[in-house]
C-alpha cells in the first residue's frame, strides 16, 4: 500500500464553521493544505469529506498519518515520525 505525501510536520490551525462541509486532503499533494484541491485524481487517495457540527478552531493534520478517523484533525502522530 502506498503512503501519502507528507505535506508538513505540524498541524495547520483553521477555524471550521458549523454546518459547512469540508474535504481534508488525504494524499498530501494539494496546494491548498489542509484541504483538497483535486490533486489526488488518478491516484490511490481520496479526500475525507465531513460536515462540521460546531464552529471551532482545530489543528488539521499535514503529516497525513492521522487518516480519516478524526476527519483530518491532528491526533499527534507527527510527533513520532
Q: How much of the chain, in percent, has pLDDT values that exceed 70?
A: 96
Report pLDDT for 67: 66
For residue 18, the enclosing domain spans 1-80
**What is the rounded distance in angstroms from the CA atom of residue 12 to the CA atom of residue 69?**
17
24-36: pLDDT as tens digits: 999 999 999 999 9
Q: What is the mean pLDDT of the chain?
A: 94
pLDDT at 50 exceeding the cut of 90: yes
Longest dimension (CA), the chain: 35
How many distinct structural domains can be found in the chain? 1
Could you tell me the pLDDT band of residue 69, with boundaries at 50, 70 and 90?
Answer: confident
Burial of 34 (0-12, 13-18, 19+ CB in 10 A): buried
Indicate yes or no: pTM above 0.85. Answer: yes
CA torsion through residues 41, 70, 35, 19, sign? positive
Do residues 5 and 62 lie in contact, with contact meaning Cβ atoms separated by under 8 Å? no
Amino acid at each position: 500500500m502506498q503512503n501519502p505525501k507528507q505535506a508538513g510536520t505540524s498541524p495547520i490551525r483553521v477555524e471550521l464553521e458549523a454546518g459547512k462541509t469540508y474535504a481534508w486532503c488525504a494524499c498530501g499533494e494539494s496546494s491548498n493544505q489542509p484541504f483538497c484541491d483535486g490533486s489526488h485524481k488518478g491516484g490511490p487517495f481520496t479526500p475525507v469529506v465531513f460536515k462540521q457540527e460546531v464552529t471551532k478552531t482545530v489543528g488539521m493534520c499535514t503529516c497525513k498519518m492521522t487518516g480519516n478517523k478524526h476527519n483530518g484533525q491532528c491526533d499527534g502522530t507527527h510527533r513520532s515520525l
